[in-house]
Structure 1
Amino acid sequence: MSCRKLWQDKEVRAASVAQGKRYAERWCAARVLEGLPLKGAVARLVDTGNPAPKPSRTEVQQQKRLDAIPNPKL
């Protein structure tokens, strides 16, 4: 994964919007927070309740991309 550039897109098929959003969260977390375990990286990227250290510019950019993915209406 480290060979991809941040501006390169990856297209995958998902069974639902929710599954696609979860995949996007994992993909962004793996690219942005390489040193952390995947589960912790995803939690740090999507958690909005805990006051954490100021996110880097890249983290903010990835969060905006994740927020642009529509949520499924159940």
Structure 2
Amino acid sequence: MQTAVYRAPVYEPTVDELETLKKLELGEDVSLGAAVKEYLSRRLLERGFVVQDEEKHWHITDTGRLLIRRTL
């Protein structure tokens, strides 16, 4: 039996996700280890709000910036 992954039709970021996006917007370094400690959801990466470089550091995308501006 195959399990389907449910995706809600509307994406609502968590407080932790918004906080992390704001840190990235301000230029703070968020590594994979820090993201795990802060319970950063993989949804940010899956939805294109952040990207990872070769060193596994997170960087905010233009889409992530738009999300911050929309929710402020």
Measured against the shorter chain, the TM-score band is: under 0.3
Structure number with higher helix proportion: 1
What's the TM-score once normalised by structure 2's chain length? 0.27
Considering Cα pairs closer than 8 Å and 6+ residues apart, tell me whether 1 or 2 has the greater RCO.
Answer: 1
What's the TM-score once normalised by structure 1's chain length? 0.27
